[in-house]
Amino acid sequence: MKLITNKIALNGTIEVPGDKSISHRSIMFGALAKGKTTIRHFLLAEDCLSTIKAFRSLGVAIEVSEHEVTIDGASFSHLKAPKESLDVGNSGTTIRLMMGILAGQPFKVELFGDDSLAKRPMNRVMLPLRAMGAKLDGKNNSEFAPITVLGTTHLKPIEYTMPVASAQVKSALIFAALQASGETVIYEKEKTRDHTEQMIRQFGGKITTEGLTIKVEGGQTFIGQNVTVPGDISSAAFFLVAASIVPHCEIKLINVGLNPTRTGILDVLKEMGGDFTIHQGESDVSEPVGDIIIKTAKLKATTISGEMIPRLIDELPIIALLATQAEGTTIIKDAAELKVKETNRIDAVATELTKMGAVITPTEDGLIIHGKTALKAAKVTSYGDHRIGMMLQIAALLVQEGEVELEQADAVNVSYPAFFDDLKSLS
Ligand code: S3P
């Protein structure tokens, strides 16, 4: 696909689609709660549709219309053995969180996905779930999908120190813990997104968090809710960066989720000299939201590391592009997790942006980016990774001569099907 290039300005207002992490969880809690749950501003994109499909296969009635998703929920004990293996497509969140849910179910299920998902590590979820008493196995006794889960209604609570900072692992354990007899204690390595914890409370359950320690009791019941999903800051990130690096821009992004476990990109933008203001919103959304007005800015390099990383993990590809337009050397470190995302994002970012003229060195756990560089036309690929595809389109806006051709552009459908249309609407 030929990308939009040579932009002299972007102006206008956008409401980005619903948060991907919150959309997945709203289906899960809606299915596991008694009564009706309605979800507004749900992300109707491939990943979240995989979660809906999986729960339908488990016997949960879910209606999808353009404006609302409705779930007729029951409880953990009402899920039914699916007739076939569950295909979760590209969705790491679906497979990992489902493993935690299925760990407490008295039947066997196989979970599989696309080629990218089959390369992603699953031991991080399988090992603690096995310690709780469930049986999980990867293809040919490996840790990779297809994964079979043989759950048990006698899950044991555990005390578990997480070796990786991962909200998917944490959430899988919480879902299993909710079905165990007694209290499970989880120690996080670093604070990660807390949407699962927030939603347990919204659906009438209890979970305690103190610093990096999480305690959750098994045997809780949840009550169906009306959920309004905030806009996804990870999708807004592409426009935050576009507005910052393309000359003469002013963009307003409305109803963006501002959960502090997700706003690392705003801290980095501020540190780099970004020009934006936030108007915190009053709304019926269960997590904080606000409107962000952002303009073109003169940027300087920064270092991003440590506990900041989980707060912006999905934004690192687009932050790398931002850094190519900042004066000085930006260092991203402590981000080895990037290697096990939808693709190896350290290699993908370095390879594709280098083709476009950026000066980037990949490292074992991050990237070193020398700015500021002009970007030039090239033939690039998303590697089937939605966030790499969208990042490359934003990079292409700066190309002044020639064409930028993106292979596997349809990867954006995983999280943002209207991405190219929304971008076109800003002129
Ligand atoms: C997610 C957690 C993160 C993130 C992913 C969504 C979630 O993954 O990268 O896009 O919804 O819990 P990890 O838990 O592997 O860091």
CA 20/CA 158 separation, integer angstroms: 29
The upper half-sphere exposure of residue 410, i.e. CA atoms within 13 Å in the direction of its Cβ, equals: 2
Question: What single-letter amino acid sits at 316?
Answer: L
Quickly name the fold that domain 11-17+231-425 has.
UDP-n-acetylglucosamine1-carboxyvinyl-transferase; Chain (3.65.10)
CA 305/CA 334 separation, integer angstroms: 6
Atom of ligand 1 nearest to the CA of 310: 16
Query: For the sheet containing 11-14, what is the strand order?
Result: 11-14, 250-257, 289-295, 275-280
Residues of the chain with CATH 3.65.10.10: 11-17+231-425, 20-228
Give DSSP secondary structure letters for 232-268: -HHHHHHHHHHHHHSTT-EEEEEEEE--TTTTHHHHH
Residue 359: beta bridge partners? Answer: 370
At 229-276, the pLDDT tens digits run 999 999 999 999 999 999 999 999 999 999 999 999 999 999 999 999
Question: With respect to CATH, is domain 20-228 assigned 3.90.190.20?
Answer: no
Atom of ligand 1 nearest to the CA of 314: 9
At 188-238, the pLDDT tens digits run 999 999 999 999 999 999 999 999 999 999 999 999 999 999 999 999 999
Question: What single-letter amino acid sits at 198?
Answer: Q
pLDDT band of residue 381 (cuts 50, 70, 90) is very high
The whole-number pLDDT of residue 402 equals 97
Name the region of 405 (left: φ>0; alpha: ψ -120 to 50; beta: rest): beta
Q: Quick one: how far is CA 56 from the chain centroid?
A: 22
Say yes or no to pLDDT of 283 above 90: no
The whole-number pLDDT of residue 284 equals 67
The whole-number pLDDT of residue 66 equals 87
- Mean pLDDT, rounded, for 140-150: 97
The whole-number pLDDT of residue 286 equals 75
CA 242/CA 216 separation, integer angstroms: 41
CA 382/CA 241 separation, integer angstroms: 18
Question: Do the beta carbons of residue 50 and residue 94 sit within 8 Å?
Answer: yes
**Ligand 1 contact, 263 CB (< 6 A):** no
- Which residue out of 27, 168, 387 has the highest number of ligand 1 atoms within 8 Å of its CB and is therefore the one to mutate? 168
> How many angstroms does the Cα of residue 167 sit away from the middle of ligand 1?
5
Say yes or no to pLDDT of 143 above 80: yes
> How many angstroms does the Cα of residue 400 sit away from the middle of ligand 1?
35
| Contacts of residue 53, Cβ cutoff 8 Å, sequence gap at least 6 | 86, 87
Sign of the torsion angle spanned by Cα atoms 338, 343, 348, 352? negative
pLDDT band of residue 130 (cuts 50, 70, 90) is very high
Cis status of the peptide bond prior to 146, with omega within 30 of 0: yes
- Mean pLDDT computed over every residue of the chain: 97
Residue numbers annotated as active site: 314
CA 346/CA 369 separation, integer angstroms: 12
